């Protein structure tokens, strides 16, 4: 009980510090350097009326309301779905792959290819800034993490063993994606 009260006082003190220092509270859940450098960020209750170039930040509790447990684990907690398990691994329809969290347009089906890795693989992002890259040194490996450019959802990793001309392989979890069929 005393411990809880102490925690609460500490949290209130920190919030006061932030506010008095002129910083708006940052509710982004992504580990690491989300919003580093004070880039624009908005706390929202839902996606209504939000422009696609605006950042999305929600608490874990808010994300849990709109994601399945598996989607939450991968997209918000940087999990990885087992290889060959995802619904988009062998998926060949024409359209756009969207962020499962915020609906941001991430990858076009015309850049999807079969890498044999067991995860949906793309040669490039749909448009510049659709995704954000971040050095990932976890699990004893040096990799480049791919995040949604809008809500910082964990999507997967990008490797340099893709097909020409770009030579990139965006290795993406199906659980971080949803699909919008287009002709």
CA distance 94 to 131: 20
* Residue 28 sits in the site that holds Fe ion (CB under 5 A): no
| Distance in Å, CB of 102 to Fe ion, minimum | 3
Q: Tell me, yes or no, if 171 is annotated catalytic.
A: yes
Taking the complex as a whole, how short is the minimal distance between the CB of residue 22 and Fe ion, in angstroms? 28
Using CA atoms in the order 149, 95, 63, 39, what is the torsion angle rounded to 10 degrees?
Answer: 10
Using rule CB under 5 A, residue 100 touches Fe ion? no
Which runs of E-coded beta strand occur in 83-142? Answer: 95-99, 105-108, 112-113, 121-122, 131-136
101 binds Fe ion (CB under 5 A): yes
Taken in order 71, 149, 179, 162, is the CA torsion positive or negative?
A: negative
**Considering the rule CB under 5 A, would residue 148 count as an interface residue with Fe ion?**
yes
146 is a contact residue toward Fe ion (CB under 5 A) = no
> Which residues sit at the interface with Fe ion, rule CB under 5 A?
99, 101-102, 104, 148, 150-151, 153
Catalytic site positions: 171
């Amino acid at each position: 009980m005393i411990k809880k009260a102490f925690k609460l006082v500490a949290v209130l003190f920190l919030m006061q510090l932030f506010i008095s220092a002129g910083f708006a509270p940052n509710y982004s859940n992504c580990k690491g350097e989300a919003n580093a450098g004070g880039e624009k960020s908005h706390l929202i209750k839902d996606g209504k009326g939000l422009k696609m170039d605006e950042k999305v930040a929600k608490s874990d509790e808010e994300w849990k309301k709109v994601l399945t447990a598996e989607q939450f684990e991968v997209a918000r907690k940087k999990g990885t779905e087992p290889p060959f398990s995802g619904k988009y691994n062998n998926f060949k329809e024409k359209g756009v792959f969207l962020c499962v969290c915020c609906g941001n347009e991430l990858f076009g089906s015309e850049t999807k290819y079969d890498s044999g890795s067991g995860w949906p693989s793309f040669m490039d992002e749909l448009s510049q800034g659709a995704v954000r890259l971040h050095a990932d040194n976890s699990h004893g490996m040096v990799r480049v993490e791919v995040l949604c450019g809008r809500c910082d959802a964990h999507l997967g990793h990008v490797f340099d063993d893709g097909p020409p001309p770009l030579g990139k392989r965006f290795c993406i979890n199906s659980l971080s994606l949803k699909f919008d069929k287009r002709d």
